Structures are given as C-alpha cells and as structure tokens.
Chains A and B, each alone.
Chain A
Amino acid sequence: MIREAFALALRAIRRNVMRSTLTILGIVIGVAAVIAMVTLGNGTTVRVTESIRSLGSNVLILTPGAQTGRGPGGATVAGPAFTTRDVTAITQNIGGINAVAPMASARAQVVYGNLNWPTTITGTDNDYFVVRQWPMAAGREFTDAEIRGGRAVCVIGTTVRNKLFAGQDPLGASLRVRNMPCEIVGVLTAKGQAMGGNDQDDVVILPLRTVQRRISGNEDVTVIQVSVQSSAMNARVRADIMALLRERRRIVHGKEDDFRILDIAEIANTVQSTTRVLTAFLSALAAVSLLVGGIGIMNIMLVSVTERTREIGIRLAIGALERDVLAQFLVEAVVLSLCGGLIGIVIGLAGSYFAVPLLNVPFVFNPTIVALAFGFSGAVGVIFGFFPARKAARLDPIEALRHE
C-alpha cells in the first residue's frame, strides 16, 4: 500500500512539474542556506583555529601597555617596555615553563646583491624557536657566543629566501640589514599565513642583543613569549607572571596593570566559540526559511486537495479508507519536501564548495548537518502536509463526488 502511495505521489508531482518546483523552492533555499552556512562556518572555524595554533600551543604573549575597559572605546594605558632582566626573572622564578623568548622587532630593508626586500626584523634567542615550535629547514640556530656577543648573524624565513636567493643556497651568504652585513646561518621551515593574512615567513631573525645595539639602539624588549609545559597550567603560570611583573614594575595593589598577557589557547577558544555562535545564529535564520517553505507546501497541498476533491470522492466511494487518503496526501507532501531537501543539500554543498576558495577556508563536509537537513525537510513535509491531508481524508464522499 505504501508503495502505491509513493507511485501516486510521484505521478501527482510529475503531472505538475512547474508547480511542484515552485512549491519546493522555499525548502530548497532553506536547506541550501543551512548547509552552506554550516559548511562555511565550520571551514572558518577550522581555518581560524589552525592559524591561531600556528602561533604556538600553550603560549603566553606578554606586551607592555594595556587597555582599560572593554571594546574599542576603552582607553589605553602606556607602560614601559620589558627588559632582559624581566626575562631572567621570569625564567628563574616561574615554574612550569618550557622556554621564555624575549623579542625586539623592527621593520627594515634587507639587501642581498642588487636585490632588496622590506621585512620584519626580530631580535630574540633560541627559545623563540622552541616557543613557536619552529624548526630549521637548513643550517643551525644561534650559538651562545653569538647571542651573548650580539654578533651579526641571522636566520631567515622562506619568503625572504625566495625573494633574495632564488635557486641559490643562502647559507653563509652575507645579508645587509640596515647597512649591517650579517651572515646567514639558518633557514626556517615554512609556517604560512597567520590570522589576518600576514606572512609569518617574511622574517629575518637575529640575536636580541644585535638588534638592540645595532638597529633599535635601546635596551627594550617589546614582547616576551612564554611557552608553558601544558595548557592545563596556562592559567596558573599566567597569574604567577602577572604577580611577578606587577611587583617588578612596582604597581601598587588596586592599580591597573600596564602590560598585558595573552593566552593563545584562550583566544583560540574564544574565537572558536564566537564562530560557532555566529554559525548557529545564521543557520537558525536559514532554518526560518525552511518553515516558510513548509507553509508553501501546505498552501499548495490545500489547493491540490480542493482541486482533487472529486478524485478523493471517487476513491472514498470505491474502497479507500480515511487513512488511505491521508497517507496519499501525506506521502505526496513528504516526497515533495524531501525532493526539496535533496536539491537543497546538493546546491548548498556545491555552492560552498565553490565559495570555499574565495573565502580562503577549507571545505569541511559535515555529514551530521546533511542528515539533519534531510530529516528536517521530511519533518516539514509531515507537519505541514498533515493538515491538508487530514482535510482530504475527512471529506464527505457524496459532497466530494458532487464537487465540480
């Protein structure tokens, strides 16, 4: 019997292809929107999380200056830069940390032969490679003597190598950084883009002391990156460093901090939950159009029942029970909405597949949402098809037969 109901439904739908298509348009759009939203949302989450993680896991980033209050309206508090003594104090007094990397950065032109390239100069020490989990592709890290002595040696990122040493071996070559000749001792592996799209490989790394003396001309450490042994300890280590630095910077109890400690894991979580909320919100909006699509189906099914009153009368007179007529129209509504759901799924997936490269996010196929969308569109058919189907089933056979 249910097979016959399906055959009847398919026939009724094919009889009126144009109308059926328009009827399911709402469902198609709704499902396609939900699928696209979730697929692109998931892609964005993955992308953002990846780029945050590329900053290093379990990393705390210390910067001088702070924001009071929240949001863009908050005032900023200036604070003095850190010093190498702060770095030593953290290394000696704080437990549970792997590495502490002081950093002093500047923008500078680097020159090799007749080529030059504007890039970021970072002065630091070997802990930086630990914190950033950034191994060498070729060459070596700095020696202790180079770090202590502030020698003119450097490690370059792959972008700098590609720009200045196309096809050549950069190791041992002399790179001029702000007119300072500097021997290249290592080349870093590629790390790719960071969040916001800036190229992490566009960098030249020198010993901290070299940068301080020969480029920035002061003793400032502008950023300190700390790698914690496990992310479970992040909060404790952060609090310890906070207390230590407040003491060292003589911030009395009750006064605001004049520096900031960012917890990368925490940022990753925040961003992740933000994109998740956003995705859910947009999907909910899209789901509303599914409901609108359901109302469209109900509308057309009601029209269809009125048009086919005579047919229903005949069927009731020659052996159909109420439930047979109910099943006939319910199945028709469900088949319609499932067709809409299927088409919507295909359009949604295809659409996001082509949108993914434009948004520069990965294509994340989510089978759960596809199954959910399919099930939901079926449910829409049942819910919105029920009322018209019941109307059909409850028709009085004689009146239905008399209907013109």
Chain B
Amino acid sequence: MRDSETAAAAAGAQPVGELTGVTKVYGHGDTAVVALGGIDVRIDDGEFIAIMGPSGSGKSTCMNILGCLDTPTSGSYRFRGVEVTTLTRNQRALLRRNYLGFVFQGYNLLSRTTAFENVEVPLIYRGLPVAERRDRVREALAAVGLESRGHHTPAELSGGQQQRVAIARAIVSQPTLLLADEPTGNLDSKLSREIMELLVQLNETRGITIAMVTHEPDMAAYTRRQVRFYDGLVMADEPTHGATRLSAARQATR
C-alpha cells in the first residue's frame, strides 16, 4: 500500500471517499446495536458536505469510518480507490497521517501545550524539518486568525479560539479530506458563524474537501450538499438550497 496505492490515492483519479453498503454493529447477540444499517455515500473532490440527523443516528460512526479511525462491520470503504477495510492498523494510521484532518467536537487539543505546539504535532509525525514546520504552523494559525496567540495554552483561549486552533491543526498538513464532527456544537451563534465562514473559505480557496456533522440547519446552510441520517440509514442526500454561501456574498460585493 505504502508506495503504489498511496501514489494512486494522491493522484486524485478516484473520488475522495466512497462508502458502499457500509454497516456497523456494536456488541453481539441481544445487546447488539446497529449504528449503521448499510449506507452508500460518495464524496468527490472539493465538496463541502453537511451530515445531519438526530442523535444516535450514526453520524459520528460514519465520520469515524470516513476518517479511517474505525472499520465497518461489513461493506466497502474506498479512499481514493484504496480499499480501507482490508488495510492494517498501521496502514490506516498512515492514511490519517498523510491525507486526513480531524476537527473533534470537544476540541481535543493537548492540554498544557501551546497552540503553536498543538498545530505542530501532525507535522512532527510527518517528519518535516523544524524550519518548514514553523512556517507552516504560522501560516495555519494565520489562516484561522490566531497568529498572535501561538504561545497560549488551550486553558488561556476562549472556546471559539480553541476550536480555531483545532481547525488549524487539521489543515496544517494540507489534508485531502477534512472531517469535522460538530465543530460549532459548543459555540454561540456568532462564533459558530465565524467558524463556518472559515471552513467555507478553506473549502473554496484551498480546495479542501470537507465533511461536517451538525445539528443546526443554519450551519448546514453554509455547505453545498446535505446528507441526512436516520436510524443508521441515509434518508436524504441533496444539494443545499438557498445556501448562505460566503462566495456568493463576496461575489455580490465585488
């Protein structure tokens, strides 16, 4: 996988991600919980997708599978044409390292570690030299508007700032696919809009493909496509109507 298939993954000849008949069952026998009941989702380059649905409908489970953190019970997941379900633990870790970015619901920053160092971690694991790491971390922090906060620890930052550090950490490695699980879940509406505008901007200017879980239609409105889950199944998969597109707003003012 390491050479030939990752090369294929980088080539971009295939859709970014393709779930086919994916199921996920937790537990066995009577206590078994069907988190995903067989779903098909295809994600193409440059998309910005909102994943919606009631609590417990399988959104996070789906995200974990897309992010190669978890494997389906059955079905197929192809990332850039590479069948993820047959990869080893280490090979999935390599996919995460090289092509995926995560923004978690609870920020999940390393505590007592500065914003700069938090953002630097993915680059350290990629083995980049110190100077290049420094430049790219600064650039990522600037992209989320936190260039002056690099030396603060998460405890010294507001919730919105922490979430932006988390986004900077997810994009610093220039991932093919950015996965965000309720990135605005803990934020007030003003901060939420800021984060959404940031994501839209990253999607448009950097061409990063984004899949985002959200409960709020307001936030989903920023995306171009909405996938609705219900009880482990995809109930609807349609383009966003009347999108609050930043680009539209910008183009209007131009």
- Asked if A397 is an interface residue, CB under 8 A from chain B, the answer is yes
* A315 CA to B120 CA, complexed, in Å: 12
Shortest CB–CB separation between residue A391 and chain B, in angstroms? Answer: 15
Shortest CB–CB separation between residue A397 and chain B, in angstroms? Answer: 5
Query: Is the pair B102, A318 in contact by a Cβ cutoff of 8 Å?
Result: yes
* A401 CA to B102 CA, complexed, in Å: 12
- Asked if B122 is an interface residue, CB under 8 A from chain A, the answer is yes
A320 partner residues in chain B, CB cutoff 8 A: 93, 97, 125
- Asked if B230 is an interface residue, CB under 8 A from chain A, the answer is no
- Asked if A317 is an interface residue, CB under 8 A from chain B, the answer is yes
Residue of A nearest to B102 (CB): A317
Query: Is the pair A317, B97 in contact by a Cβ cutoff of 8 Å?
Result: no
- Asked if A266 is an interface residue, CB under 8 A from chain B, the answer is no
Query: Is the pair B93, A318 in contact by a Cβ cutoff of 8 Å?
Result: no
A-side interface mostly: helix
Shortest CB–CB separation between residue B231 and chain A, in angstroms? Answer: 21
Query: Is the pair B69, A319 in contact by a Cβ cutoff of 8 Å?
Result: no
Query: Is the pair B108, A310 in contact by a Cβ cutoff of 8 Å?
Result: yes
* A148 CA to B114 CA, complexed, in Å: 97
Query: Is the pair B89, A322 in contact by a Cβ cutoff of 8 Å?
Result: yes
* A320 CA to B169 CA, complexed, in Å: 14
* A321 CA to B88 CA, complexed, in Å: 12
Query: Is the pair B122, A319 in contact by a Cβ cutoff of 8 Å?
Result: yes
Query: Is the pair A15, B112 in contact by a Cβ cutoff of 8 Å?
Result: yes
- Asked if A169 is an interface residue, CB under 8 A from chain B, the answer is no
* A22 CA to B69 CA, complexed, in Å: 37
Residue of B nearest to A324 (CB): B125
Query: Is the pair B69, A311 in contact by a Cβ cutoff of 8 Å?
Result: no
A4 partner residues in chain B, CB cutoff 8 A: 124
Task: For A321, give its contact among B94, B104, B122, B173 (CB under 8 Å).
Answer: B94
* A252 CA to B160 CA, complexed, in Å: 108
- Asked if A268 is an interface residue, CB under 8 A from chain B, the answer is no
* A314 CA to B69 CA, complexed, in Å: 11
Residue of B nearest to A394 (CB): B89
Query: Is the pair B96, A318 in contact by a Cβ cutoff of 8 Å?
Result: yes
Query: Is the pair B125, A314 in contact by a Cβ cutoff of 8 Å?
Result: no
Interface set of B (CB-CB < 8 Å, partner A): 64, 67, 69-70, 89-90, 93-94, 96-97, 101-102, 104, 108-112, 121-122, 124-127, 169-170, 173
17 A–B contacts, CB within 8 A, in A order: A1-B127, A310-B108, A314-B108, A314-B110, A316-B93, A318-B121, A318-B122, A318-B125, A319-B93, A319-B96, A319-B97, A319-B122, A320-B125, A321-B125, A324-B125, A398-B64, A398-B70
